[in-house]
Amino acid sequence: MKNIILLFLCAVIVLDVDFAIAGDAPEIKGTVFMPVMKRELRVSRGRMYRNRLASKKSNQKESAALKSAFIDVIVSAHPQSYVFEIDTLPPSKILQINAEFVPRVVPITPGTQVQFINRDGFYHNVFSLTPGSRFNIGRKATGVVVNRRFYNLGEIKLFCDIHAQMNATIVCLDTPYFTRVSPNGQFELSGLPDGQYEIRVYHPDLPQLTEIVDIRSGETVTKNFTLSR
């Protein structure tokens, strides 16, 4: 009986330690403010000659969830005080819906696979002229999925040679710590090891903001950023 009680007490102690460790993980959170971004929707040939069998409702539902002004903002934390290995992430998806890339900004790490999927009832193309990451998948019909891996750090600008208004950006980052800003402008990065970080706030149409931040176990660092033109 004494042995059972001793084992129970040990288990409680172990659980308390685990919870304490999880609770001590530092985090960075805050709010991003930005100017009003107007996204013009121009009529393209693809819209004019839409396949009559294409489902407009399903496309509209998939793209409606990504209409916040903040969906193109990525906040990332780049370690400055320690060396680390970056793992390849699970595949990311870029859809083509209503003659738009959805999402318009996709953050990845080197070696991550990106899937290009045409959800429209007409042809689309995806190409990039970014040095070191040039590619062209050709014109693809509805439902076609094309996979491609990217290794070079930085921006990879995407376009469609059929619809001039379509553009998107893959952001290849040298850190596993990043997040998309929420629809109300808030962000949170948790589980970061102790150390010094360069915080970057990225939007494809606005100047990038950076700030050096030191974080320690048990700390929550609050930082607000204002993007400007």
173-185: pLDDT as tens digits: 999 999 999 999 9
165-219: pLDDT as tens digits: 999 999 999 999 999 999 999 999 999 999 999 999 999 999 999 999 999 988 8
Same fold, 23-39+67-85+183-229 and 87-173: yes
Q: What is the pTM of this model?
A: 0.78
Residue 168 confidence (pLDDT): 97
Right CATH for 23-39+67-85+183-229 from 1.10.40.30, 2.40.50.360, 3.40.50.1100, 2.60.40.1120: 2.60.40.1120
DSSP-assigned letter for residue 149: E
Whether residue 1 is predicted with pLDDT greater than 60 in this model: the reply is no
Whether residue 24 is predicted with pLDDT greater than 80 in this model: the reply is no
DSSP-assigned letter for residue 218: T
64-121: pLDDT as tens digits: 444 678 999 999 999 999 998 899 999 999 999 999 999 999 999 999 999 999 999 9
Residue 25 confidence (pLDDT): 67
Q: Taking the CA atoms of 185, 186, 191 and 195 in sequence, report the sign of the dihedral they define.
A: positive
Q: Please give the CATH number for the structural domain made up of 87-173.
A: 2.60.40.420
Structure tokens at 3: 């042995």
Residue among 157, 178, 158 at smallest CA distance from 109? 178
**Residue extents of the structural domains in the chain:** 23-39+67-85+183-229, 87-173
Structure tokens at 106: 């996709």
Q: Give the integer Cα–Cα distance in Å for 112 and 94.
A: 13
